[in-house]
A = this chain, B = another copy of it.
Amino acid sequence: MRIGFIGLGGMGTAMARNLVAAGHTVLVWNRSPGPVAELAAAGAVSASIEEAFATGTVLSMLADDRAVTERLLDPAALAAAPAGALHVNMATISTALAERAAREYAERGLRYLAAPVFGRTEAAAAGNLTIVTAGEPAAIAEVQPLFDVLGRRTWTVGEVPAHANLVKILGNYLVACSIEAMAEATTVIEAGGLDPALFIEVLTDNLFPGPVFAGYGSMIGKRSYEPVNFRLPLGFKDVGLALSAGQERNVPLPFGGVLRDAFIEALAHGQGEQDWAAVAETARRRAGLA
């Protein structure tokens, strides 16, 4: 297929590269030129956002609501899209923005899918993402071959695009809650004179297998938060998305309030460049161990 791809951060770069490798013609755009050159060397085509939209099928992986609003709801970009063009937004954005995007695209005779992903950059590079999508079934069928390149599995959660974002936001909320729970538990373990890494090993052996507990647990148990895969302020942004999603639906989120404070405290202590798992240090600091 001939497609556009907008947003070449760590995730987007790995994803676009896989699409190129699978034989697709990929017109890529990014705010800064470095990643574009890198992708072009791998066979992609450097393009403007308008050119990307002109292909009729655009995937995007931008950083946040602000970037999505600026780039993908830009009237000039949308004007460049042929009638019925399909945009697949794979970023983690608010459900409010997803609802607005779906509405504005429909008003212009364009089609919009939400398809956020679970998985970090290694999973993206390995074509091993979990994709959660929602929207018009025909549109999903159209890009399923692209999803098959990018991910290990695609979950369709209905026809309302914002619902896919809701699943992604609350999924990340579960991850953040798991990090905080392990932080608190390992701090008691450490204060009690036991090795937190051993505790994590026992718990992930059977009760809590899987990448979240084993992966973040290992980082927390060893207090080793390198390499930085997902910066702490981005994690804080995602906690904010969950709190907003709850607030808009009148759902109190008491764990979310605790998470909010833990992230703010980490930022107050200069942890803004660390991986979000390092928010676990907040629990140690409060216990006088840091």
Contact = CB atoms under 8 A, between A and B. Distances in A.
Interface stretch (A35-43, A208-216, A222-230): A208-216
A162 B194 CA distance: 10
Interface string A198-214: 11001101111111110
Interface centre among A95, A118, A208, A270 (most CB of B within 10 A): A208
Interface string A141-164: 000000000001101011010110
Contacts of A157: 194, 198-199, 202
A102 to B, nearest CB: 14
A81 interface: no
Given A181-B178, A251-B264, A265-B252, A153 B194 contact: no
A17 to B, nearest CB: 22
Interface residues of A, number: 74
Contact of A265 (B95, B203, B256, B287): B287
**Copies per assembly:** 4
Interface of A: 95, 118, 130, 132, 152-153, 155, 157-158, 160, 162-163, 166-167, 170-171, 173-175, 177-178, 180-182, 184-189, 191-194, 198-199, 202-203, 205-213, 242, 245-247, 249-258, 260-262, 264-265, 267-270, 283, 286-288
